[in-house]
A = this chain, B = another copy of it.
Amino acid sequence: MLPENDEIRTALLQSGKQQFLAHGFDRASLRVICRNANVTTGAFYSHFEKKEDLFCSIVEPSVSAFRELFNSAAERNAASLGSVEDELRSITFARNHREECRLLLDCAEGTKYAGFRRWLVEDCFYPRYQAFFDRSAGKPVDPPLVRIILHMKLDEYTDLIYGDYTDEEVRGLIARMSIFSEAGFQALMHLLREEESRSAAPV
């Protein structure tokens, strides 16, 4: 009986997504968003409290979904960083939410999600990375080093998510990149252990 409401809401969500992606939150014009959605500016405020509310409504389903995915993955492999399968699963998920990802990472200035990237990296990924590196090296690893490698890894994901690839291509790239990363990682661990033994064996 009230499907119209949802139609309007949906139209606003779509139009907003498009404008936010195109111009970022701050520079996107609410008027344009409304006009493109065939909605009056007044009506907008029946559906959303303010501009930011629209942004959040666009983005929040993906945020929750992402949180779930991330938590379940975290549970599954508390001891490692995730298999190629896990990587693929995450990236496929992100690829299916490509636009929301961009909104959160690049178009959120002015909203409460402005710090999303930081949260994702520092609070979600970094602690697990640091722990994993420490465990693998058998000693605390220099945090900046961990962070750099984490950033590189995330950058790889970014490429895979936004790049215009087929699923097949993504799978191939992940496979080859895991060769690269694994080799780099092992070399680094080797070096770190060597440093350790050198500094530890004075005799």
Contact = CB atoms under 8 A, between A and B. Distances in A.
Interface of A: 23-24, 26-27, 109, 142, 144-145, 147-149, 151-156, 158-160, 163, 165, 169, 172-173, 176-177, 179-188, 191
Given A180-B188, A188-B180, A148 B156 contact: yes
Contact of A144 (B158, B169, B181, B185): B169
A151 B151 CA distance: 10
A185 B191 contact: no
B191 A187 contact: no
Contact of A145 (B147, B154, B173, B181): B173
Given A183-B183, A183-B187, A177 B159 contact: no
Given A183-B186, A184-B181, A147 B159 contact: yes
Contact of A26 (B27, B153, B182): B27
Nearest to A177: B148
A77 to B, nearest CB: 22
A161 to B, nearest CB: 11
A173 B144 contact: yes
24 contacts: A23-B109, A24-B109, A27-B109, A144-B159, A144-B163, A144-B165, A144-B173, A145-B176, A147-B159, A147-B163, A148-B155, A148-B156, A148-B160, A151-B155, A151-B156, A151-B158, A151-B159, A152-B155, A176-B188, A179-B184, A179-B191, A180-B184, A183-B184, A183-B187
